[in-house]
Amino acid sequence: MGQNSTAQLGHFITVANNTWLRQQLSKEDGSIDKAIEMVEHNLKDTVAFINAKGMLHFDAHFHNILTDGELLYFSDFSLATSFQFALSKEELQFFQNHQNYDRCYVVTTLTSWIISRVFGKDHFDEVLNDYANGKTPLVLPAALTPYLSSIVKRYASITLKMNTFFKTLREENEI
């Protein structure tokens, strides 16, 4: 640092949460359980904080969330809205009607990640439907720890509802 510097700059390296979680899953030493526990708590805490400040993120998927392995950092606030913005009457009503969106979206993202990475994308719908209906899939991959299974069980019904909503939205907007 130069003698005449008036400021210091710190830089820390983060990675996309999706990339980091894949690294933890590949370790096969139980790291994934600790990682998923940290992610779940950070997702819920960060969303609660953002929502308590009167804001909705609306795009908190894993490519918009960074991590240093200890904390999560939400990014890309381009779809975010707040009651403090200059909203029309309709926009304010939309904002009020969707207060639980971020909470549902982050657990859907987490659950979808687990199912896709552990069971494979080809089995996603079948596995999600099984869990949402209180059934255990017939084939349980070795990577599915009891903890990961408990996360999927906990959020399967929300994930199914959100994915059904997204599918309907895509179908209605196809040209």
Structure tokens at 106: 């982050």
Reduced to 3 states (helix: H, G, I; strand: E, B; else coil), residue 47 is helix
pLDDT of residue 106: 98
Can you give the pLDDT at residue 10?
57
pLDDT computed for residue 165 by the predictor: 94
Beta bridge partner(s), residue 56: 81
Name 82's Cβ contacts closer than 8 Å, sequence gap at least 6: 53, 54, 55, 56, 95
Q: How far apart are CA 153 and CA 60, in angstroms?
A: 21
Domains with residue ranges and CATH for the chain: 15-172 (1.10.510)
pLDDT at position 138, please?
87
Q: Residue 174: what pLDDT?
A: 82
Residues whose CB is less than 8 angstroms from the CB of residue 118 and which lie 6 or more positions away in sequence, other chains included: 25, 141, 143, 144, 148
- Give the model's pLDDT for residue 70: 92
30 with 23: CB under 8 angstroms?
no
Residues of the chain with pLDDT under 70: 1-3, 5, 8-13, 175
Sequence-distant (6+) residues with CB within 8 A of 47 are 57, 60, 102, 103, 106
pLDDT for residue 175: 58
- Give the integer Cα–Cα distance in Å for 114 and 127: 11
Chain Cα centroid distance, residue 126: 21
pLDDT at 18: 78
